[in-house]
Amino acid sequence: MMKSLLIVAHGSRRESSNEEVRKLAEQIRSMQDLAVDEVTTAFLELAEPSIPAGLEACIQRGASEVLVFPYFLAAGRHVVEDIPAEIGPVQEKYPAVRVSIAPHLGMATELPALIAASTLQK
């Protein structure tokens, strides 16, 4: 069984912003003992690949399970409605592939400590 992590960001007209997300995926990919075989990225809009194209690529590379990680700070419309709507048709096309959505970044219990450690240390 192959498992992929698909990091989904909003996407930006500024390519350097999109590249930050790709570099994050590279950093995660280089970590040891991950519970996934592949880490890649997709974008809701303004950048490539799109979410459906990103999912399709994971599946074509052999993923039997894809965990979608919304790289968003709050549960706005994109997290609650748009990302699931983008995933739905791909899930219907490949019913044997398990596609699940992880809690968005803003829900990470480590986030308050990370913000404090990076900005508020004496």
What pLDDT sits at residue 122? 67
CATH of 2-119, one of 3.40.50.2300, 3.30.365.10, 3.40.50.11900, 3.40.50.1400: 3.40.50.1400
| pLDDT values of the chain reduced to their tens digit, one per residue, 122 residues | 999 999 999 999 999 999 999 999 999 999 999 999 999 999 999 999 999 999 999 999 999 999 999 999 999 999 999 999 999 999 999 999 999 999 999 999 999 999 999 887 76
Q: What is the pLDDT of residue 120?
A: 79
- Cβ-proximal residues to 58 (8 Å cutoff; 6+ apart), any chain: 4, 6, 38, 40, 66
Q: Cβ contacts of residue 66 below 8 Å, gap of 6+? A: 3, 4, 5, 6, 55, 58, 59, 97, 98, 99, 100
